[in-house]
A and B are shown apart, each in its own frame.
Chain A
Amino acid sequence: MTSLNPALIIGTQVSEVVRLHQGLRGTRLRDRVLEALSRLRIPAAATRLRHYQHQLSGGMRQRVTSAIAMSCAPRLLIADEPTTSLDVTIQAQYLELLKEVQAATGVAVILVTHDFGIVAANADRVAVMYAGRIVEMGSTLQVFNSPGHPYTQALLRCLPDVELKRQELVEIGGQPPDLARLPPGCPFAPRCPRRQPVCDEAYPPAVPLGSGHVAHCWVASAAAA
């Protein structure tokens, strides 16, 4: 949302990409710009072109930024915490829109987020990261229903769920690791409830848990969450 330059009008910021990558000028440029904006369902796009970013709401700014990203038909879109600062209902609007755009263009999306709810509802495959490494990877169903890595399991148990009245949230002890001083072996070991001596010695290899599902863990097993 802070991706838009406060000193330039929206129109400039969208058209410069199109001009650079597609070499369009004049009316054709303008048409393409309006098309990009309307794909993200931005109302009154023609007027918006002359606005500055502060004249738009948070949700609208995010759509403009996404329109810029999608304007030159990319093959891959990396969305880094796209809805973190947005309200829940605006977030729902945005994610719905993203799905639409994806269905229409076939673009691949890497969605970076800390919100498991978003992952559960929008992702086909998930990679769970900890201390700079991917500790588990698989399809969404696999990772949520049968998480193999203790960190994934712990996360799923400690997050409050809007659809469940949990009796208890199981805490993950300890603190997130200091990246400057990582221990040898598995970085999650200090906080892991299933820690073994081997975990402190070497970083675990990928253990296959199912088709396309792996976890880097010495004691991994496809235990139900």
Chain B
Amino acid sequence: MTRYLVGRVLQTLLSMLVVISIVFVLTRLSGDPVNLLLDVNATERDQEVLTRYLGLDQPLPVQYGIYVRNIALGDFGKSVLTRRPVTEHIWERLPATVELGFVAMFMSVLIGIPLGMYSAVRRGGVADRAARIFAVLGQSMPTFWLGLMLILFFGVVLGVLPAGGRGSLAHLVLPAFTLGYFTSAAILRLTRSSMLEVLGSDYIKFARLKGLHEQVVLWKHGLKNALLPVVTFAVLLFVQFLGGAVVTETVCCRTP
């Protein structure tokens, strides 16, 4: 087990190295920041000074080395536009995203798994069909539209929930739902199909044969197996959330 974990950690570091290298190459390719920073009237002398200051006159491998070393030490440099340290920008926005991510994740799991299970158990029934319609809508609706509609309805028309910004739990409801709807739909469908597959298996048949109460069969025997793919999927989704929910956050004005 430890060997596995160590391996995974090494893989993570390797992936990160690849990512920052790609970023390095792309930024070097996409133009000269010196021109961006300086005034139109800047002289060549000024350009030279700035270039040296930014370290852009060094040979590429050296730049790369400095770049990697800085990142390892936590220094992400300064934003070309705002001249403030990048880390500051990140810290400004990250909490909001993480908050939203957690709540959205929580909501989608809370909605998706039980509905998915219920759907599977009552297959073909009214509830199943309703749940599946709910799921299809969730996966086809664009987030910005849904976000706006929710704000319009709940925030403006009904005035029940805040229309934007952040601060309290109430502020999280609409954006979390917007973000979470799509994923809860995906989780619902995955739980449903996974549960259906599990319900058809021999060990469920055997569990019923033992005379166990149906609820025990479903929750003790069925759920554990059915959740395997769902857990993997949910975690991947959560990582995506953390990566940024730009559209939702912009619509719901959660960015400062």
Interface centre among A2, A3, A5 (most CB of B within 10 A): A5
Question: Complex formed: what's the CA distance from A16 to B225 in Å?
Answer: 18
Contact B202 A16 (CB under 8 A): no
Contact B210 A16 (CB under 8 A): yes
Contact B210 A17 (CB under 8 A): yes
Contact B203 A6 (CB under 8 A): yes
Question: Complex formed: what's the CA distance from A7 to B221 in Å?
Answer: 8
Once A3-B202, A4-B203 are accepted as A-B contacts, the answer to whether A68 and B210 lie under 8 Å apart by CB is yes
For residue B62, CB closer than 8 A to chain A, the reply is no
CB distance from B247 to the nearest CB of A (A): 38
Contact of A21 among B201, B207, B211, B221 (CB under 8 A): B211
Contact B207 A5 (CB under 8 A): yes
Closest to B225 in A: A7
For residue B224, CB closer than 8 A to chain A, the reply is yes
Task: Convert B194-227 into 0s and 1s, putting 1 for each residue whose CB lies closer than 8 angstroms to a CB of A.
Answer: 0000000111011100111000100011001100
Question: Complex formed: what's the CA distance from A7 to B225 in Å?
Answer: 6
Contact B203 A5 (CB under 8 A): yes
Question: Complex formed: what's the CA distance from A7 to B228 in Å?
Answer: 10
For residue A162, CB closer than 8 A to chain B, the reply is no
CB distance from A159 to the nearest CB of B (A): 28
Contacts of A4 in B (CB 8 A): 203, 206
Closest to B206 in A: A3
Interface residues on B, range: 10 to 19
Closest to B203 in A: A5
Contact A8 B224 (CB under 8 A): yes
Once A8-B221, A8-B224 are accepted as A-B contacts, the answer to whether A3 and B203 lie under 8 Å apart by CB is yes
Contacts of A65 in B (CB 8 A): 206
Contact of A2 among B201, B207, B210 (CB under 8 A): B201
Task: Convert B175-207 into 0s and 1s, putting 1 for each residue whose CB lies closer than 8 angstroms to a CB of A.
Answer: 000000000000000000000000001110111
Contact B212 A2 (CB under 8 A): no
Task: Convert A15-40 into 0s and 1s, putting 1 for each residue whose CB lies closer than 8 angstroms to a CB of B.
Answer: 01100110000000000000000000
CB distance from A10 to the nearest CB of B (A): 12
Contacts of B202 in A (CB 8 A): 2-3
Contacts of B225 in A (CB 8 A): 5-7
Question: Complex formed: what's the CA distance from A111 to B206 in Å?
Answer: 17
Closest to A5 in B: B203
Closest to A6 in B: B225
Question: Complex formed: what's the CA distance from A14 to B151 in Å?
Answer: 54
Question: Complex formed: what's the CA distance from A223 to B238 in Å?
Answer: 73
Contacts of B201 in A (CB 8 A): 2
Q: Which of A11-70 contact B (CB under 8 A)?
A: 16-17, 20-21, 65, 68
Closest to A2 in B: B202
Contact A20 B206 (CB under 8 A): no
Task: Convert A64-101 into 0s and 1s, putting 1 for each residue whose CB lies closer than 8 angstroms to a CB of B.
Answer: 01001000000000000000000000000000000000
Contact A20 B210 (CB under 8 A): yes
Give me 23 A-to-B residue pairs in the complex whose CB atoms sit less than 8 angstroms apart, sorted by A's number: A2-B201, A2-B203, A3-B202, A3-B203, A3-B205, A4-B203, A4-B206, A5-B203, A5-B224, A6-B203, A6-B225, A7-B221, A7-B224, A7-B225, A8-B221, A16-B210, A16-B216, A17-B211, A20-B210, A20-B211, A20-B212, A21-B211, A68-B210
